[in-house]
Structure 1
Amino acid sequence: MKELVVAGARIITTNEFAEVVLELAERLAQHGLTQRVEFPCVVDGAITSATLLLGDAHVLATVGIPGSEPGDLGTAAQLEDLHRRAAELAPV
């Protein structure tokens, strides 16, 4: 599990979702674009979802959570959608 740190807020999600959201944020910034993204997260031990507005003016970082294990969080379709969106924006 990792934490996405956005404007001081910490959003806990799986390693794979954290990495692909970070990749998408980087590609959007390179292209001067903004997109709304939704992905699963954990709040107080319960699975829910987070929605972020990602773009060239937004800062995003991932922070590993010590002692955590990747879990079954989210769906393959959600993850594939984020991978597809990042792949559509070729690196600059």
Structure 2
Amino acid sequence: SSFQLDSISFEVDCQQIVTSINHIHFDLTKFGSIIGKCKNLLLFLSNYKVCFVRRKTNSVAHLLSKIINSYADLYNFNYISHCIFQKIMNELH
């Protein structure tokens, strides 16, 4: 499926990930393999940026990580819960 999004901004609170995605270098470690797979997925997007944000300001990701850690098994989120939606809307304004 195609989302037809004009521009996507990925805000990441790990500087090493941002640097690895934004620069061309070869890393033969498991980390490098994961970054390579991420880069391949990003090729499907026409306009995106990956930028660093301090963990303190990345409240939506922090909330999501708390929720995800509360599940013992893998879970498919087919909807956005109200608390996450509210957090996203607050950050947009």
Pairwise TM-score range, normalised by the shorter structure: under 0.3
TM-score by length of 2: 0.27
Return the index of the structure with the highest Cα Rg: 2
Query: Normalised by the size of structure 1, how large is the TM-score?
Result: 0.27
Higher strand share: 1
